[in-house]
Amino acid sequence: GDARAASYRRTDTKKGNDMGSGIQDEHWRGAISLKLELHADEVTTVPPPEPLFILAPRLGYLPQVSKQALQQFKGFLPPGIDEPWFEYKGVPLKWQIPTGALYDLLSDGEYPWCLTIHFRAYPKDALQPISGDETLQASYLNSLKEAAYVLTGNSSAVMSLTTKSQQELWQNVLDGQHSDFFQNMEKMELMKPVVRLIPARAPLNLLALTFYFFLSS
Amino acid sequence: MATSPAPPVEKVVVLLKATGDAPILKQSKFKVSKSEKFVFISEFLRKNLKLEQVFMYLNSSFSPALNERIGTLHEAYNVDGKLVVNYSTTPAWG
């Protein structure tokens, strides 16, 4: 917990180059230990299900663990369509924000982080709908375009990627493969930001993404 | 869009630009309250243009989250004091 906290709070990028890939590696390998419990309203059996302990990559998104969670809790759910969503202390969690950012903002260091998972009654007013992996990937690419816009003044770096490259990049994120990810990023020439374009105040999900870009470079 | 009789509300200028086949508005420049969320623009467009679905982009580059404050988006992305929103009936920039 503390080592991870120290690594991502590093803001001195000059030192970062000397420390080399060690901290980058740790940051990327960094995962949040989650304890997922099925919401009481959705438990239809006695005894109730055991919680699921699972590692979620910091630089990934909560929906990545939905499939495994569904496997764990499937047998306990009431009839209906499975629409997974996560909640912490009554607050539905926005799935577009990287898991690490959510953890840092909300958890107060709680470890493992105890989240409640739901599969029914998706809160459409609070959360944007998500229908599978494609939504997540599309959302990620859109955030990437926004970050590209802030870093270089336009989003052509992302727009000019072939579908195959986009797929590769996304798979790098899913797998937590940072060396491949950065090779692909360099191809996009996003590693040379035009710093003066960074807005003083930026929308939250953009902050989350560029925060991780800068820390990792 | 800008009908607020209450105490002075801070507003910013939003410029709506049609792209592709999208219908063009009679009036394209508006003042919108900073505290409105971006979804406000999509509802406005769908109501006034009688569209089922509309895609929106900022500066022809990306789509912001619907629950972002207009004020924040304007501050971050305005060009010459205007928040330029491109709208279309089909995805234009991915």
> How many residues does the structure list for chain A?
217
**Using one digit for the tens of pLDDT, what is the confidence trace for A38-79?**
999 999 998 999 999 999 988 889 999 999 999 999 999 999
- pLDDT at residue A3 is higher than 90: no
* Summary count for chain A: helices (H), strands (E): 10, 5
**Using one digit for the tens of pLDDT, what is the confidence trace for B62-94?**
998 888 899 999 998 999 999 999 999 988 876
Query: Which residues of chain A are at the B interface, by a Cβ-Cβ cutoff of 8 Å?
Result: 96, 128, 141-143, 145-146, 148-150, 154-155, 159, 199-206
- What integer pLDDT is reported at residue B5 of this predicted model? 63
Q: Give A217's pLDDT tier (boundaries 50, 70, 90).
A: very low
Portion of chain B with pLDDT greater than 70, in percent:
91
- pLDDT at residue A18 is higher than 70: no
**Which of chain B's residues have a Cβ under 8 Å away from the Cβ of A148?**
61
- What integer pLDDT is reported at residue A189 of this predicted model? 64
**Using one digit for the tens of pLDDT, what is the confidence trace for B14-53?**
999 999 889 999 999 999 999 999 999 999 999 999 998 8
Q: How far apart are CA A143 and CA A159, in angstroms?
A: 12
Q: Give A9's pLDDT tier (boundaries 50, 70, 90).
A: very low
Dihedral angle over CA of A140, A196, B55, B23, nearest 10: -170
How high is the ipTM of this complex?
0.75
The verdict on a CB contact (< 8 Å) between B62 and A203 is: no
Residue A13 C-alpha, separation from nearest chain B C-alpha, in angstroms = 24
Residue A92 C-alpha, separation from nearest chain B C-alpha, in angstroms = 14
The verdict on a CB contact (< 8 Å) between A159 and B72 is: no
Read off the pLDDT of each residue in A96-122 and give the average, rounded to a whole number: 93
- What integer pLDDT is reported at residue A7 of this predicted model? 40
Q: Which helix (H) or strand (E) holds B84?
A: strand B82-88
* CB-closest option in A96, A143, A201 to B76: A201
> Distance of alpha carbon A117 from its chain centroid, rounded?
16
User: Could you tell me the CA-to-CA distances from A149 to A97, A118, A154, A198 in Å, in that order?
Assistant: 18, 35, 4, 9
Can you read off the two tokens belonging to residue A172? 């790098």
For B40, counting Cβ atoms within 10 Å of its Cβ (0-12 exposed, 13-18 middle, 19+ buried), the class is middle
- Which residue in chain B is spatially nearest to A96 when comparing CA positions? B65
Residue A152 C-alpha, separation from nearest chain B C-alpha, in angstroms = 12
In chain B, residues 15-74 whose CB comes closer than 8 Å to chain A: 58-59, 61-68, 72-73
Q: Give A209's pLDDT tier (boundaries 50, 70, 90).
A: low
The verdict on a CB contact (< 8 Å) between B94 and A146 is: no
**Which of chain A's residues have a Cβ under 8 Å away from the Cβ of B37?**
none
Identify whether the C-beta of residue B30 lies closer than 8 Å to the C-beta of residue B13. Answer: yes
- pLDDT at residue A146 is higher than 60: yes
- What integer pLDDT is reported at residue A151 of this predicted model? 80
What residue type is assigned to position B90 of the chain? T
Strand partners, A55: A33
Residue with tokens 């870093």: A151
End-to-end CA distance of chain A: 22
The verdict on a CB contact (< 8 Å) between A146 and B61 is: yes
Q: Which helix (H) or strand (E) holds A126?
A: none
Identify whether the C-beta of residue B31 lies closer than 8 Å to the C-beta of residue B82. Answer: no
Q: Which of A95, A96, A159 has the highest number of chain B CBs within 10 A, making it the mutation to test binding with B?
A: A159
The verdict on a CB contact (< 8 Å) between B62 and A155 is: yes
User: Could you tell me the CA-to-CA distances from A108 to A1, A30, A36, A151, B3 in Å, in that order?
Assistant: 11, 17, 17, 31, 42
Provide the H-helix boundaries in chain A: 2-9, 13-19, 21-29, 66-73, 99-106, 133-152, 156-159, 163-175, 178-187, 204-215
- Which residue in chain B is spatially nearest to A154 when comparing CA positions? B61
Q: How far apart are CA A206 and CA B69, in angstroms?
A: 13
**Which of chain A's residues have a Cβ under 8 Å away from the Cβ of B77?**
149, 199
Sheet holding A52-57, edge to edge: A52-57, A31-38, A113-118, A85-88, A91-92
